[in-house]
């Protein structure tokens, strides 16, 4: 029995808790109302200073936007306004990444990132490029920035991220637009990391010959994007004069697929063009689906919040898609320092230039970063957490003062035929992309534009070279030297980040290529039928058959299982067809087994996992010094190691408690900031997914967590016989506001392999943007 005083105490506590609960609910409801109020206006009228004529903005039932304007300037103004309506926080975060100003809003935790970004000088390069834009290009950039600023001045509530972090965004400028193009170029370039890795391996005592074994060359019998017949060029010499030059580890490359099929191979008699760039999965999505219409431009497809125009898509006459070439447009230069004076260059001592960067940190503190500059560019090793003993400077195409990549895309949006398309790409710089092309006349084509450095004979770009002036770039390749093909006899073109040019091409774009598995599988499926339909294009994009499994299956046949459980699983895997479906238990065991196999050379290379399939295959079939495990008493063969890896995989499966690949292989979509807060439940998403790094419907995963952080960031299939019957989709949704019904309503479409109609026509909510007074 409770004493009366205790009863009174509990009644008082209950009343107090009730009051707190009421206040919490009231505050929560007020917060909810604020968050709802920050959703963009999609109907009615808005008067905006800066417009010359009314602009119509229509949002369909999934939030896909169509903008119709009377002039190009008004069109890009409205695009900036709408992007800011839907994705302002994303654009602000991207801008601050490019500026190296994350610490102003996030504090000390992001100082290392800001130091790195400031050292490279992305925003400095964007400012320089802005000052050299062509007049038409500058007008588009300025109009877009003015549209963003019109939203900031409109009085609309800001997205909740700004309130949570306690700041308001500054007005947008031209360099703010251009800096995200620089960051995308950085994201799709990575040769500097490969050079640094090779340098460190050589410093560990790994010989050039052994490097060739650990990082095997691109297979001679594997497909290339272009054949000698496609190029119609004389092939002059061998690409690689020595074994070291033939190494081809593609670890930095973002994966993507595209292909185009001639009407001679389709059920419609006209081409199909398909594309799915594989980039980081995030919330909100990287892309924004949009149709743009004004006199002289009518394009639809994937746009990037922060940039004007359509990046991937179609107009009324042509369609295009892109994947990353991975061209080597970065070089590291080893500096011979002369203490207290500078570095040695062309026989003399050159003093470092010093650039001071002031990094403001939330709370009021400032840090002054002194960046050393050379004739090549910044000394980027100063910003590394574990810098090598010898300082290295970076030469990178995207740090050049002149950059007209935006002009190239704007002109592609307006191109009507192959010649106009090629001309549009003439100012293209970096990152170099595999552009596939198709038009309503039935033509298909391919071109890889970009500023490709001309290097001195013997300078491969694979390892850092002395920065003494002897290995400086000699210029850039001329556009007529770019790899290209038009209406190839075989009737299709496939790009999947694999090798572009055949043996004997006059120069090397790079020596780092993606493994050919995805390209081989796409070609298998394209050749499986005499005539291909739109449904076939969908099926290819969704294919998760693993050719990696095909290559490693013989190892399973040869190994001797170490337990009855392993023997049963070996037999199940041998009976499996290799499809990495999310509901497959075999896919789970194979993925875990392969992951254990990649641990093989960790003592030698200093990395926990070494995902080099051809090194592993050769080692398991022919033997390798790394197969003997030092923790055991006897000497293991490589097949013994494979059997041990299977046991470890089954132990890990049991520890995970999983019975299907999709239970642990989850596509994750984190919000850049809210993922670290209790609001993660509202902002983040994850879904079960299949595939692996080498399947067409790609599903790369972290070897420790098995989570998938990269994947198909956008899918499109263009039917050149019926342009309005074309398809597109991206994960998450159109809105960046996590209370919007369009925040994640496309995620189930994307996961299931469904699409939205890629069409200009359609009904929806209409918003009229009118010129202000």
CB hemisphere CA count around 414 (13 angstroms): 12
Burial per residue of 71-92, b for 16 or more beta-carbon CB atoms within 10 angstroms, e otherwise: bbbbbbbbbbbbbbbbbbbbbb
Q: Read off φ and ψ for residue 556, nearest 5 degrees.
A: -60, -40
- Give catalytic status of residue 256 as yes or no: yes
Which tokens sit at 85? 């309506």
Which tokens sit at 191? 């040769």
Q: Are 497 and 326 in contact (CB under 8 A)?
A: yes
- Report cis status (omega within 30 of 0) of the bond before 557: no
Cα 345 from Cα 337, distance rounded (Å): 10
Q: How many CB atoms are located within 10 Å of the residue 146 CB?
A: 20
Cα 277 from Cα 574, distance rounded (Å): 32
Which single residue is written with the structure tokens 């789970």?
Answer: 588
Which tokens sit at 106? 């996030």
Cα 506 from Cα 237, distance rounded (Å): 6
The reply to whether 651 sits in an annotated binding site is: no
- Report cis status (omega within 30 of 0) of the bond before 431: yes
Cα 54 from Cα 766, distance rounded (Å): 12
- Report cis status (omega within 30 of 0) of the bond before 516: no
Q: Are 256 and 277 in contact (CB under 8 A)?
A: yes
In angstroms, what CA-CA distances link 568 with 536, 565, 646, 647, 650?
Answer: 36, 5, 11, 12, 11
Beta bridge partners of 757: 727
* CA dihedral sign of residues 227, 231, 235, 238: negative
Which tokens sit at 458? 């013997």
Cα 622 from Cα 619, distance rounded (Å): 5
Paired sense of beta strands 465-466 and 330-334, if any: parallel
In angstroms, what CA-CA distances link 577 with 477, 547, 548, 573?
Answer: 45, 10, 12, 8
| Residue 313 host element (H or E) | strand 312-314
CA 399 to chain centre: 19
| Residue 570 host element (H or E) | helix 564-575
The CA-to-CA distance between both ends of the chain, in Å, stands at 76
Beta bridge partners of 290: 65, 301
Cα 720 from Cα 266, distance rounded (Å): 11
Cα 489 from Cα 610, distance rounded (Å): 39
Q: How many CB atoms are located within 10 Å of the residue 700 CB?
A: 18
Catalytic, out of 38, 256, 432, 683 = 256
In angstroms, what CA-CA distances link 371 with 190, 356, 515, 626?
Answer: 21, 6, 37, 42
Which single residue is written with the structure tokens 């490709």?
Answer: 452
User: Looking at residue 144, what DSSP letter applies?
Assistant: H
Q: Give me the helices (H) in 100-173, please.
A: 103-106, 111-120, 122-130, 135-152, 160-165
The reply to whether 328 sits in an annotated binding site is: yes
Walk across the sheet containing 337-338 and list its strands.
337-338, 342-345, 348-350
In angstroms, what CA-CA distances link 728 with 257, 310, 391, 565, 715?
Answer: 14, 13, 46, 45, 5
**Where is the binding site, in residues?**
195, 328, 331
- Residues identified as active-site: 256
Residue numbering of the annotated binding site for Ca(2+): 195, 328, 331
């Amino acid at each position: 029995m409770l004493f009366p005083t205790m009863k009174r105490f509990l009644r008082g506590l209950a009343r107090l808790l009730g009051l707190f609960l009421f206040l919490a609910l009231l505050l929560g409801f007020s917060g909810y109302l604020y968050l709802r109020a920050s959703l963009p206006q999609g109907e009615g009228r808005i008067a905006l200073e800066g417009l010359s004529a009314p602009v119509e903005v229509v949002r369909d039932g999934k939030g896909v936007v169509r903008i119709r304007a009377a002039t190009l300037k008004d069109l890009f103004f409205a695009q900036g306004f709408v992007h800011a309506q839907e994705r302002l926080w994303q654009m602000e975060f991207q801008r601050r990444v490019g500026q190296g100003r994350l610490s102003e809003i996030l504090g000390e935790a992001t100082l290392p990132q800001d130091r790195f970004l400031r050292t490279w000088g992305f925003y400095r390069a964007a400012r320089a490029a802005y000052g050299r834009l062509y007049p038409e290009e500058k007008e588009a950039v300025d109009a877009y920035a003015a549209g963003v600023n019109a939203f900031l001045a409109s009085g609309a509530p800001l997205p909740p991220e700004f309130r949570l972090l306690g700041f308001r965004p500054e007005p947008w400028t031209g360099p703010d637009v251009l800096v995200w193009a620089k960051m995308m170029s950085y994201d799709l370039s990575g040769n500097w990391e490969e050079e640094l890795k090779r340098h460190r391996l050589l410093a560990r005592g790994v010989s050039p010959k052994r490097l060739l074994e650990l990082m095997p060359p691109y297979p001679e019998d594997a497909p290339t994007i272009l054949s000698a017949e496609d190029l119609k060029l004389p092939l002059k010499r061998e690409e690689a004069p020595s074994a070291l030059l033939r190494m081809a580890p593609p670890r930095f490359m973002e994966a993507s697929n595209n292909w185009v099929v001639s009407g001679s191979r389709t059920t419609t008699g006209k081409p199909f063009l398909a594309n799915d760039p594989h980039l980081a999965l995030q919330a909100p999505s990287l892309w924004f689906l949009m149709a743009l219409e004004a006199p002289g431009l009518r394009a639809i497809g994937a746009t990037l919040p922060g940039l004007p125009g359509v990046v991937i898509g179609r107009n009324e006459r042509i369609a295009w898609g892109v994947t990353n070439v991975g061209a080597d447009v970065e070089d590291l230069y080893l500096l011979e320092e002369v203490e207290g004076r500078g570095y040695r260059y062309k026989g003399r001592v050159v003093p470092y230039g010093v650039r001071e960067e002031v990094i403001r940190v939330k709370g009021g503190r400032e840090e002054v970063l002194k960046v050393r500059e050379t004739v090549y560019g910044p000394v980027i090793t100063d910003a590394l957490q574990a810098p090598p003993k010898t300082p290295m400077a970076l030469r990178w195409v995207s740090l050049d003062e002149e950059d007209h990549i935006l002009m190239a895309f704007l002109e592609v949006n307006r191109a009507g035929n192959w010649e106009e398309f090629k001309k549009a790409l003439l100012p293209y710089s970096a990152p170099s992309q595999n552009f596939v092309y198709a038009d309503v006349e039935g033509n298909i084509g391919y071109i890889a534009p970009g500023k490709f450095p001309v290097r001195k004979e013997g300078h491969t770009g694979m390892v850092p070279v002395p920065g003494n002036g002897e290995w400086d770039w000699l210029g850039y390749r001329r556009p007529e030297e770019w790899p290209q093909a038009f209406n190839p006899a075989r009737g299709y073109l496939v790009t999947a980040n694999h090798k572009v040019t055949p043996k004997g091409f006059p120069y090397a774009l790079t020596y780092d290529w993606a493994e050919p598995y995805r390209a081989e599988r796409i070609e298998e499926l394209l050749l499986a039928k005499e005539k291909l339909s739109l449904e076939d294009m969908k099926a290819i994009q969704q294919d998760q058959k693993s050719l990696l499994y095909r290559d490693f299956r013989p190892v399973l046949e040869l190994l001797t299982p170490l337990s009855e459980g392993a023997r049963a699983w070996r037999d199940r895997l041998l009976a499996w067809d290799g499809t990495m479906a999310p509901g497959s238990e075999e896919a789970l065991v194979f993925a875990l087994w392969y992951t254990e196999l990649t641990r093989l050379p960790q003592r030698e290379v200093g990395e926990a996992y070494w995902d080099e399939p051809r090194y592993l295959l050769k080692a398991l079939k022919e033997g390798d010094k790394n197969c003997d495990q030092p923790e055991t008493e006897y000497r293991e063969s490589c097949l013994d190691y494979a059997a041990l890896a299977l046991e470890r995989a089954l132990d890990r499966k049991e520890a995970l408690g999983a019975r299907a690949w999709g239970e642990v292989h989850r596509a994750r979509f984190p919000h850049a900031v809210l993922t670290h807060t209790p609001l993660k439940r509202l902002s983040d998403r994850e879904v079960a997914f299949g595939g692996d790094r080498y399947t067409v419907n790609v599903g790369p995963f972290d070897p420790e967590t098995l989570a998938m952080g990269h994947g198909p960031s956008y899918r499109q299939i263009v039917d050149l016989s019926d342009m309005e019957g074309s398809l597109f989709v991206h994960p998450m949704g159109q809105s960046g506001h996590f209370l919007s019904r369009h925040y994640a309503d496309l995620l189930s479409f994307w996961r299931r392999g469904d699409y939205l109609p890629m069409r200009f026509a359609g009904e929806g909510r209409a918003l009229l943007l009118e010129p202000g007074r």
